[in-house]
Amino acid sequence: MTDRRFDVWAPRPQRVRLLCGDNAGGTVVEMERDDGGWWTPAEPLPRAAGEPFTDYGYLLDDDPEPRPDPRSRCQPGDVHELSRTFDPSGFAWTDHAWTGRQLAGAVLYELHVGTFTPGGTLDSAIERLDHLVDLGIDLVEVLPVNAFNGTHNWGYDGVAWFAVQETYGGPRAYQRFVDACHARGLGVVQDVVYNHLGPSGNYLPLFGPYLTTGRNTWGDLVNLDGEGSSEVRRYILDNLAMWFDDYHVDALRLDAVHALADTSPTHLLEEMAIETAARSAHVGRPLTLIAESDLNDPTLFTPREAGGYGLDASWSDDYHHAVHVALSGETTGYYADFEPLTALKKVVEHGFFHDGIYSSFRERDHGSPIDVEHMPAWRLVVCSQNHDQIGNRAVGDRLTDHLDEHQLGCAAMLTLLGPFTPMLFQGEEWAASTPFCFFTSHPEPELGEATAEGRIEEFAKMGWDPSVVPDPQDPDTFTRSKLDWAEPEHAGSRHARMLLLYRTLTRLRRERTELTDPAMTAHRCTVDEGARLVHLWRGGTLVALNLGETEQSVLDVQGDLLAVTGAGSGSEASLAGGTLVLPAHAGAVVG
C-alpha cells in the first residue's frame, strides 16, 4: 500500500521537498506534483519513517526553513517547528458500547482546559469529571484545543487545526479525555474555529490559497468560494471528520459562523451538516453541530428539508443579554435594548429578541423570527455566563461579583428550567470567586505588546480605567483565572449552597418531563414590570422569580415547593394556602 501520510497540497511552490528527521541529521526526499497541486514523495522514504513516529517538515522552493505540515497531527515543539506523525488508531478505546448523547434535553458545561484545574491539562481534567456527573451534566463543551503559539491561550489563536495543543497533553491525552468522559456517561462537544487563523505560526499561505482578500474581526478571511477553495473546503471538512472519527467527540461547536464568507451554491455549513448526518447514520449515534452566530438567523438550524442549512442548534446571545440585564440592571452598549422585563418575556417565548426589529447597538434592524409553532426550543443553546461574556469584560468579572446569592439562583432557575438547552460555565455552579480573564502567551514581544495595548485601548473607549485592565501577557492573569476547587468544599458556605441548588435543578430536569418539553408553545412567561415579578410556566411547574427589592406574594399556586434560591441561607420562600411568598431577589420552583 502506498504511504500517503506525507502527501501535501501545495499549489503555490514550484518545488517541495520532504525533510524527515531534523535539519542536522534528517533525510531530504524530493516530492513530485500532480495536476491538482498535491505533492507525493518521489522516492522511497527512510525505513524508520513513522515508526513509532517521525518528525518532519516541508522545504518550499528555496526556503531553507522547513515548514510544518498544514495537516499536522502533532506539534511536539511550538507551531513554528517540525510536525510529528501520529497514529490515531494506536489508542485502545473502551467506549465500544457508547450510544452518544443527543442535544435535546441535555445540560452542557463549558470548560477551558488550562484553567479548569490547577494542572491545566486534559489528564488533570479527567480527575474532575465525577464532579460534572454529580452536577447532572450531559455534555462537556471544551474550548478550542488546536495548537497555538505559546503555553496558554483561550484557544482562538490556533493555527494548526489538526493538532491538539501540547501543553494540554497532546493528541493522545485528548483521546484519553474523551474515553474517560464516555465511561462516565458524558458526551463531548469540541469548540472549533474555522473562520480565521491565529497571528503567529500560520504558514498555510505559503502552501496554497487558504486565505482570501479581506478580514473579519479576528483575522484574514478563509477562502471558501474563490480559486482553489474546493481544497480549502475539503481541508475544513476533513478536520470536522477527524474530531468525530479519530477522537470520538459527540458534537462540534462552530465558532462565529457569521464570519464564514461563502457565496457558493451550497454553503459550507450545509456541507458540514450533510457530512455529519451521513457519519452519524454510519456510526449509529447522535453527532451534533452547534453554531455560534450573532445573526439571529433561524436558517442555520432549520432542517435542510425545510430550506435551512441543517445544523442542529445555535447559541442565543439575546437570552444571555435579557437575563443579565434583568438581574444586574446593566444597560450599557448592547444591553440597552433589553432593559424592560418584557424583553426577557419575549426571549423566553420567542427565542430571539431582535427578530427583525431595530437594534440600537447595531443602529439597524436585526435578526429574523423563529417559527415557534414548529421549531423545537432545544435548538437554542443558552447561558447566563460563558467564556465570552465574562472574559470580554475588562477585568474578567463574573456575575458572582455583582449579584447576591438569591439573584444568582434566579439566573440558574431561568437557565436550567427554561425551554432551551442550558449551558453552564466552569465554576458557575458554585459561584466561583475566581475571574476568567482574557489571557495570552505570545512569545513574540511585539505581538504581546500589541495585544496588551489593543486590549487597553478597547476598554478605554468604553469608559474603563486603563489601570484596572489586566495585561493579557502577564502570567498572573492566566493563573488567577484557574478555578479554586476548595471553594465548594466549605460546608455551609455560599459556594456549597449554590452547588446544592444547581444539583437540585438538574435533578428536577431529569424527573419532570415538562422541563425538557421541546415545544416553545408549551410554555408561557408573564412579567410584572412594576413589581419585578417573573412567572415562567412549564406545564404544571411554575418558576416564580422576584427580582424586586421587597417581599412579594404570588396567589393561587398549586403544588409543593421543589426548589428555593439560596436554600438554607436564612430568608427563604414559603408556601401556604396557595400563596407563595418570595423575599426580595429570590426565586422558587413549585410543582
Give the pLDDT mean for 529-547. 94
Least Cα distance to 478 among 121, 156, 148, 153 occurs for 153
Burial of 395 (0-12, 13-18, 19+ CB in 10 A): middle
Does 1 score more than 50 pLDDT? no
Collapse the DSSP code of 146 into the 3-class scheme (helix H, G, I; strand E, B; otherwise coil) and give the result.
strand
Is 254 annotated for ligand binding?
A: yes
Is 389 annotated for ligand binding?
A: yes
Regarding predicted confidence, which is higher, 394 or 418? 418
* Radius of gyration, alpha carbons of the chain: 25
pLDDT score at 566: 63
- Lowest-pLDDT range, 21-30, 140-149, 501-510? 21-30
Does 290 score more than 90 pLDDT? yes
CATH topology for 518-590? Immunoglobulin-like (2.60.40)
- Lowest-pLDDT range, 245-254, 321-330, 460-469, 507-516? 460-469
> Which band of pLDDT confidence, cut at 50, 70 and 90, is reported for residue 377?
very high
Residue 547 identity: L
Summary mean pLDDT of the chain? 94
Answer yes or no: 292 catalytic.
yes
Give the pLDDT mean for 44-71. 88
The catalytic position among 110, 157, 179, 255 is 255
Does 78 score more than 70 pLDDT? yes
Is 248 annotated for ligand binding?
A: no
Q: What percent of the chain has pLDDT over 90?
A: 85
Indicate the domain borders of the chain: 518-590
In this structure, the number of other CB atoms found within 10 A of the CB of residue 465 comes to: 10
Retrieve residue 335's grid coordinates. Answer: 444591553
The catalytic position among 271, 292, 297, 471 is 292
Regarding predicted confidence, which is higher, 359 or 394? 359
- Lowest-pLDDT range, 240-244, 516-520, 555-559? 516-520
Give the pLDDT mean for 548-562. 91
pTM of the model: 0.96
Say which DSSP state 538 is in: E
Give the pLDDT mean for 124-131. 98
Element holding 83 (H helix, E strand): strand 83-84
HEC string for 215-241: ECCCCEEECCCCCCHHHHHHHHHHHHH
Answer yes or no: 255 catalytic.
yes
Is 386 annotated for ligand binding?
A: no
Is 388 annotated for ligand binding?
A: yes
Is 256 annotated for ligand binding?
A: yes
Q: For residue range 471-495, what is the model confidence (pLDDT) as tens digits?
A: 999 999 999 999 999 999 999 899 9
Least Cα distance to 425 among 451, 404, 467, 396 occurs for 396
In this structure, the number of other CB atoms found within 10 A of the CB of residue 420 comes to: 23
